[in-house]
A and B are shown apart, each in its own frame.
Chain A
Amino acid sequence: MKSKLFVLVFAGVSVLGVRAYAHHSFASTYLEDQKMTIEADVLQFLYRNPHSFLQLESKDAAGKPITWAVEWGAGGQLGSQGVNRDTLRPGDHVVVIGQPGRNPDDHRLRMIDIKRPSDGWSWKGTFD
């Protein structure tokens, strides 16, 4: 069933011309069997293809700022799910769950779930 779904998704991608494809390998970039939660403020939302990136800033235990790069779906894909370039603004406080990057120095996540407590907005899903 999973393989049929995979073929269907790719058929859809091919027909619609939507470019849901990273230049890198997810399996090689992220620890796909792990999850990590961060609470941070939005610095920038780069809404683009092939994948969007959300820049967040949190503080470590000593109060030193840490910048996170959270990889998200393609602009076209997120647009069809109601996420647009204005959905998130600099300064928004969010809680993100994602797969951590294999290289801890990159402070990187692959988005699984995001919530904005101030108004209850949320998104949850997967992307390729």
Chain B
Amino acid sequence: MTLNKMSAGLAVLLCAGFPALAEIDLSGSWSSINHEDALERGGGPNPVDWAGLPFNEAGRAKALSFSQSIISMPERICWFQTQWHIAAGPFSLRIWAQPDPITGKPIAWIIGAWETRAPMTIWMDGRPHPSKNAPHDQTGFTTGVWNGNELIATTTHLKTGYIRRNGAASSDQATITTHFLRHGDMMTLALLIEDPVYLTEPYILTRSYNLGPAPVAIGGPPCIVGDEGVESGRVPHYLPGKNPFVDEMMKLYHIPSEAALGGAQTMYPEFRDKIKDKFEIPAKCKLNCG
């Protein structure tokens, strides 16, 4: 056998046992690093802090009507989150492949559930998304394609949810595009949400993970409804113009309301120049100072 024939044979052998080129293995337990957006992913953001969110008027009005007490209603205590929770929650990920029983190739990648989020099944077999009139459920419907070493997943058929845990909402018309970018034992997820009901532009969050030997738990303890201070049937809310925390970011950090109330312009660096004359660094940071 010539050297060329040996090389060709070796190449065939190597390819047979591994995914096709330009696909990578995502399986394993990925520990969230949580070095970004710590307040948002930890204790939770301040009320009426929507800077950087590309709200339209409906999105802002919806958020201003939100009272945090609403999710202490017995009916909502066990409210499930959409797949956006992957971007905005604090938890780690367990990912595995579901193989085709004949070919052994992954027909889906699955991201395990959390106690507050259903699993995400990313179908890789080219199946179409359901009709736009099909029911929306807790998982949404997700398909994926490879772009080189990057997996791009598209999720539709979501239920309503949150974008930021202080009232910034997403509608059931929103779609989420998730980019899986693996670099050795690190992986970055870039999630992009588009919502024609509440946003004027896509909103993007990234977060990174380390691959580790410790298994990441799937699911979690069951949610138990209890008395969190809001009786059944009362729906806490603020009527238009009555949100008492509109000036919270000004009081805490001197951030003008035109920034705190969000809008696409607040996402871009040049907005800083626009408001710099209205901002004065507080003499002392009082709360959540990093």
Which of B224, B227, B244 interacts with A69 by CB under 8 Å? B227
Say whether B8 faces chain A, with CB atoms less than 8 Å apart: no
Say whether A41 faces chain B, with CB atoms less than 8 Å apart: no
Query: A5-17 CB contact bits vs B (8 Å, 1 = yes)?
Result: 0110011011101
Contacting chain A: which of B14-22, B87-95, B129-137? B87-95
Which of A19, A32, A103 interacts with B67 by CB under 8 Å? A103
A126 CB, nearest partner CB in chain B, Å: 10
Interface size class of A (residues with CB under 8 A): 35 or more
Are B69 and A103 within 8 A (Cβ)? yes
Known: A19-B115, A53-B226, A71-B228. A27 touches B67 (CB 8 A): no
A27 CB, nearest partner CB in chain B, Å: 5
Query: B43-55 CB contact bits vs A (8 Å, 1 = yes)?
Result: 1111100000000
Interface size on B, residues (CB 8 A): 51
Contacting B at CB under 8 A, from A68-120, are 68-69, 71, 75, 101-103, 105-108
Are B220 and A128 within 8 A (Cβ)? no
Chain B residues lying within 8 Å of A101, measured Cβ to Cβ, are 69, 229
Which of A17, A33, A44, A69 interacts with B228 by CB under 8 Å? A69
Are A3 and B116 within 8 A (Cβ)? no
What separation, in Å, do the CA atoms of A32 and B46 have in the docked complex? Answer: 10
Are B166 and A106 within 8 A (Cβ)? no
A85 CB, nearest partner CB in chain B, Å: 12
Are A106 and B230 within 8 A (Cβ)? yes
B202 CB, nearest partner CB in chain A, Å: 23
Chain B residues lying within 8 Å of A17, measured Cβ to Cβ, are 216-217, 220
Q: Which A-chain residue is minimally distant from B114 (CB atoms)?
A: A19
Are A11 and B165 within 8 A (Cβ)? no
Are B44 and A24 within 8 A (Cβ)? yes
Say whether A58 faces chain B, with CB atoms less than 8 Å apart: no
Known: A28-B47, A69-B229. A19 touches B216 (CB 8 A): no
Contacting chain A: which of B28-36, B178-186, B260-268? B28-36
Q: Which A-chain residue is minimally distant from B224 (CB atoms)?
A: A48
Question: Most chain-B Cβ atoms within 10 A of its Cβ — which of A10, A15, A69, A71?
Answer: A10
Query: Can you give 13 A-B contacts (C-beta < 8 A)?
Result: A13-B90, A14-B31, A14-B91, A14-B216, A21-B91, A23-B79, A25-B68, A25-B166, A28-B44, A46-B227, A103-B67, A106-B236, A107-B229
